[in-house]
């Protein structure tokens, strides 16, 4: 039989169902692979001591024919800004290094209740506010495709674990692209859902408001969809979830109107990313979708201004709730916090009012266009301990130059999914994103399945 570590979650569950493999055996294989590879990658930073007990309980349920869900016994990891009872939740910062929550955030609780096996926590940058994964608590996480490079961030530990076969499923968060960009750097599929699609409660302070959502990371579209089925039911403790329909991807998506945005103004894009994402746009057109090249339907300066004000004020507020109003460790975050402390209440309110207007305009845009397609990231992965690439395509790039394509979806309250396309000449993964109207999560999962059937990627593995 194929190494269980190299099997998708849905394939593992099928073997559990048939009795050809047990959750205990699958976990044992994963434990051995984690012991061998995690020291190279630093993806998992805290291990769940209850994993073995959870695997034994799942094995007993499968033998009795009473699984708790279709994914009972499948291992999963949890990003270290999502609370998990009994495990440290450092949020990448010494300021939270001693924090051990007593309850699971709701998505973690749901996966435990569905019988999945928790592996532990995955690494993040400080306060999950940067696009790489390094911190003074746990150190840098490395990309399985080239361990000298970053997997991106802030869900860098999550994607490194799944890409390396250290568990088939991960929970990440995406406040400005923090699932979609790392997924593109690791050759995976990742979804930033609509607000409420995955209900949240009992978690860390929401310093990015509802722009940040918990989302699934997986190797295949079937895995991602199966995981989302477990996470998506509404919960009254997250009122946004009550307004959404039941999660039900169509078997075949309709032919869609897709606006392909190749670049934002003068922001540079790596030539291989530009070429391979353009080829993916043509391939979507070949599947029968109407794809047109056009500029973005929003002003990038407005997006940057709103996103900056929310992040700065949110970080400043969080620090103000801690004893002594401390400063972060990372210098870029110190600057961010200082900018947030300098904002007036009127300026923050103005940013929120601008956000509301932006959401109305984007909702109107999606009345006549189904999806926006862009590259998921503007740069290929860069050295693991550097915050960002200083240049892209020979042009200077600031701290967010690699991340220009993603935050518009968070501000719009839109779901966005990252899908692999052809890799670079050196074998580094490249991904594109599709963004739809609020509530279009099921549609994105359906088109992901269609894309994967036509252009499969799951057999691509890093040479570790």
Alpha helices by DSSP H, listed for 6-155, are: 9-18, 23-41, 51-64, 106-113
Per-residue pLDDT at 125: 98
Instruction: Examine residue 327 and state whether it is found in any structural domain, yes or no.
Output: no
Q: CA quadruple 295, 299, 304, 306: dihedral positive or negative?
A: negative
Strands 391-392 and 117-122: unpaired
Closest by CA to 400, choosing from 139, 79, 127, 132, is: 132
Instruction: Give the whole-angstrom CA distance, residue 278 versus residue 289.
Output: 14
Instruction: Examine residue 409 and state whether it is found in any structural domain, yes or no.
Output: yes
Split into its structural domains, the chain has a count of 1
Instruction: Give the whole-angstrom CA distance, residue 214 versus residue 40.
Output: 27
The catalytic residue positions are 79, 154, 178
In eight-state DSSP terms, residue 370 is S
Instruction: For the chain, list residues with pLDDT below 70.
Output: 1
Per-residue pLDDT at 120: 98
Task: Specify the pTM.
Answer: 0.98
Instruction: Examine residue 318 and state whether it is found in any structural domain, yes or no.
Output: no
Q: Tell me which residue range forms the domain holding 386.
A: 4-299+355-454
Instruction: Examine residue 330 and state whether it is found in any structural domain, yes or no.
Output: no
In angstroms, the Cα distances linking 242 to 103, 195, 245 are: 23, 11, 8
Per-residue pLDDT at 390: 96
Per-residue pLDDT at 421: 98
| CATH label of the domain that carries residue 443 | 3.90.1300.10
Instruction: Examine residue 364 and state whether it is found in any structural domain, yes or no.
Output: yes
Alpha helices by DSSP H, listed for 143-260, are: 156-163, 180-186, 221-231, 239-242
Residue 292 burial (C-beta neighbours within 10 Å; 0-12, 13-18, 19+): exposed
In eight-state DSSP terms, residue 458 is T
Instruction: Examine residue 314 and state whether it is found in any structural domain, yes or no.
Output: no
Per-residue pLDDT at 2: 84
Place of tokens 């532990």: 120
Q: Which residues contact 232 (CB under 8 A, 6 or more apart)?
A: 197, 198, 246, 247, 441
Are 99 and 57 contacting, i.e. CB atoms less than 8 angstroms apart? no
Instruction: Give the whole-angstrom CA distance, residue 378 versus residue 231.
Output: 30
Are 419 and 189 contacting, i.e. CB atoms less than 8 angstroms apart? yes
Angular region, 439: left φ>0, alpha ψ -120 to 50, beta rest: left
Are 444 and 419 contacting, i.e. CB atoms less than 8 angstroms apart? no
Instruction: Examine residue 60 and state whether it is found in any structural domain, yes or no.
Output: yes
Instruction: Give the whole-angstrom CA distance, residue 9 versus residue 222.
Output: 9
Instruction: Examine residue 277 and state whether it is found in any structural domain, yes or no.
Output: yes
- Other C-beta atoms closer than 10 Å to the C-beta of 87 total 22
Per-residue pLDDT at 64: 98
Q: How much is the CA Rg of the chain, to the nearest whole Å?
A: 21
Place of tokens 């695997």: 55
In eight-state DSSP terms, residue 363 is H
């Amino acid at each position: 039989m194929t190494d269980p570590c190299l099997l998708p979650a849905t394939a593992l569950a099928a073997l559990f169902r048939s009795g050809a493999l047990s959750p205990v055996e699958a976990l044992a294989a994963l434990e051995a692979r984690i012991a061998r590879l995690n020291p190279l990658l630093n993806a998992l930073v805290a291990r769940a001591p209850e994993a073995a007990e959870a695997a034994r309980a799942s094995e007993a349920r499968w033998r009795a024919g009473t699984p708790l869900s279709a994914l009972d016994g499948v291992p999963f990891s949890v990003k270290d800004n999502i609370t998990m009872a009994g495990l440290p939740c450092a949020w990448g910062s010494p300021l939270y290094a001693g924090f051990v929550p007593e309850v699971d955030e709701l998505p973690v609780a749901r996966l435990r209740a569905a019988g999945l096996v928790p592996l532990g926590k995955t690494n993040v940058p400080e306060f999950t506010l940067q696009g790489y994964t390094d911190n003074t608590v746990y150190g840098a996480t490395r990309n399985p495709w080239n361990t000298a490079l970053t997997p991106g961030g802030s869900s860098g530990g999550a994607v490194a674990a799944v890409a390396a076969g250290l568990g088939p499923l991960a929970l990440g968060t995406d406040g400005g692209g923090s699932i979609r960009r790392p997924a593109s750097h690791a050759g995976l599929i990742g979804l930033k859902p609509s607000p409420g699609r995955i209900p949240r409660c009992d978690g860390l302070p929401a310093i990015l408001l509802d722009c940040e959502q918990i989302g699934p990371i997986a190797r295949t579209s079937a895995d991602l969809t199966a995981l989302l089925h477990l996470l998506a039911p509404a919960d009254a403790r997250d009122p946004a979830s009550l307004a959404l329909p039941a999660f039900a991807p169509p078997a075949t998506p309709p032919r869609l109107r897709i606006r392909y945005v190749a670049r934002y103004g003068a922001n540079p894009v790596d030539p291989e990313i530009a070429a391979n994402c353009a080829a993916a746009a043509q391939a979507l057109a070949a599947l029968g979708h109407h794809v047109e090249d056009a500029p973005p339907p929003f002003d990038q300066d407005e997006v940057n201004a709103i996103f900056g004000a929310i992040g700065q004020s949110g970080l400043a507020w969080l620090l103000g709730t801690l004893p002594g109003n401390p400063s972060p460790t990372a210098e870029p975050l110190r600057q961010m916090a200082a900018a947030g402390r300098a904002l007036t209440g009127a300026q923050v309110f103005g940013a929120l009012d601008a956000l509301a207007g932006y959401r109305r305009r984007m909702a109107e845009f999606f009345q006549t266009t189904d999806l926006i397609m862009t590259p998921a990231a503007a740069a290929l992965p860069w050295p693991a301990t550097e915050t960002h690439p200083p240049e892209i395509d020979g042009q200077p790039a600031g701290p967010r130059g690699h991340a220009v394509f993603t935050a518009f979806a968070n501000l719009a309250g839109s779901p966005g999914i990252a899908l692999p396309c052809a890799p670079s000449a050196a074998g580094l993964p490249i991904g594109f994103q599709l963004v739809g109207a609020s509530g279009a999560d099921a549609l994105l999962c359906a088109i992901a399945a269609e894309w994967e059937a036509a252009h499969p990627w799951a057999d691509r593995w890093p040479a570790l």
